[in-house]
Amino acid sequence: MEKRTVISPEGESFEVDPMKDYFCDARPKVYEPVLPIVEKFLNWARSESLWVLGFGTGCGAIETRPLMTPRFDAYRYGIQWRATPRQSSVFIISGYLSVKTLKRVVRTYEQMQNPKFVMALGSCTINGGMYWDSYNTINRLDHYLPVDVYVAGCMPRPEALLAGFDMLKKRIREGKGEGANLYAENFDWYKANQKKIIKDWDMPDYNW
Amino acid sequence: MISRLENIKQLYHIEQVVQQRHDLVLITVPKEYTVAVVTHLRDYEGFKHMVLLTAVDWIEQNKFQLTYILNNPEEKVDVAVRTMIDRDQATMTSIHHLWEQAATYQRELREMFGINFPGSPRVDKPFMLEGWDNIPPYRRDFDTKKYSEETYFPRPGRETNDPKEYMKSKMYPDEH
């Protein structure tokens, strides 16, 4: 890709390499826990404010929308939807993932800041579901992203999603919401899997 | 509707006419007349709206069948212009100059069937599959199950049944 010229607010012009633009490409680091009692308090705080990224990948996106309405009202559990990956801590993979979407999902996941959790919704994320023999949808999400909670079903009802959030909160409070650390520890394995199926890899290895 | 087709029959070589429904007629034309027939239908017979352009893979005959469905919004009738093209050198004249949106259909056919439409805008850019390096997936000699098993890390333990045998054993258990 060609370098492009950017003019700063001060009027200076400089060249920017698009592969190193606006993000850092250092490898992810494993989060070192602080004192256990402090960590326990932090985990409680994390579990009580789950901010979900508004990114619908498949048909499951339609099941998350009723949760915002007064009927199911996920906000009473401290769950709310955010517009950007920088602001959110939970990534719901809602249903099947095509290879094209997976590329965007990987970038988005890496742009989210710690602590971050992945919730896999529907059978498609577990074993491919009804798209198990499709030429363009992945079968197992846990080969590309670390999954904290699975919600099985095709499609799960919003109640099942609420139960999934409950389970996620429980796991975070127990200190088991370690997906981001798992990703950092097995970074090369995840990257190899991602690059095996995303054949036109035209982005940095890690960007955030 | 039929009177309109009579006009075309006098002008072009029409191989087959099938009245599928009261408001849908399928006509089969040779490859070289297809764009002329489509243009004639649009300009003189009021079929102003292109509903879709799609393909069928007749692998046994080594042919692709292209179907252009056109709609006449005033008379509320459809006509489907069908043509057979060679499967090995699948090339067809583009109709993006008649309807701009045809370019998108042609881009999709290029990617999913490998049918080339020279001159169509952005026809070589990836449409849905990014970085695809196999034969086009909608061709019938592409084995989607095999590709998926080789590529997408299948989870072991899935049980599958042959649908035909399974339905037989469920619906007619005595005959087994």
* Within a domain: A123: yes
CA distances to A116, B17, B20, B48 from B23, rounded to whole Å, are: 56, 13, 8, 16
Indicate the burial class of A106 (C-beta count within 10 angstroms; 0-12, 13-18, 19 or more).
buried
Q: What is the pLDDT of residues B106-138, one digit of tens each?
A: 999 999 999 999 999 999 998 888 888 899 999
Give the count of domains, chain B: 1
**ipTM of predicted complex:** 0.82
Residues near B168 by Cβ (< 8 Å), separated by ≥ 6?
A: B175, B176
* Within a domain: B153: no
B161 shares contact with chain A (CB less than 8 Å): no
Highest mean predicted confidence (pLDDT) among A23-32, A141-150, B154-163: A141-150
* Within a domain: A176: yes
CATH number reported for the structural domain that contains residue A119 in this entry = 3.40.50.12280
Looking at residue A151, the DSSP 8-state letter turns out to be E
Distance CA B46, CA B70 (A): 10
* Within a domain: A7: no
* pLDDT score, position B2: 66
* Within a domain: A137: yes
In degrees rounded to 5, what are phi and psi of residue A109?
-60, -40
* Buried b / exposed e along A64-95 (16+ C-beta atoms within 10 A): bebbbeeebebeebebbbeeebeebbbbbbbb
Query: Which range marks the domain in which residue B41 is found?
Result: 2-125
**Residue of B128, B144, B155 with shortest CB distance to A100:** B128
* Within a domain: A23: no
Residue A139 has pLDDT above 80, yes or no: yes
* Within a domain: A20: no
Contact residues, chain A, for B151 at CB < 8 Å: 196-197
One-letter amino acid at B42 equals R
B129 shares contact with chain A (CB less than 8 Å): yes
Looking at residue B98, the DSSP 8-state letter turns out to be T
pTM, rounded to two decimals:
0.85
* Within a domain: A9: no
A199 with B148: Cβ contact below 8 A = no
CATH number reported for the structural domain that contains residue B97 in this entry = 3.30.460.80
* Buried b / exposed e along B88-110 (16+ C-beta atoms within 10 A): eebebebbbebbeebbbbbbbbb
* Within a domain: B65: yes
Mean pLDDT computed over B61-72: 95
A137 with B152: Cβ contact below 8 A = yes
Residue A169 has pLDDT above 70, yes or no: yes
* Within a domain: B169: no
* Among A residues 62-101, those touching chain B with beta carbons less than 8 Å apart: 98-100
Residue A185 has pLDDT above 80, yes or no: yes
Closest residue by Cα to residue B88 from B110, B66, B62 = B62
Mean pLDDT computed over B61-77: 94
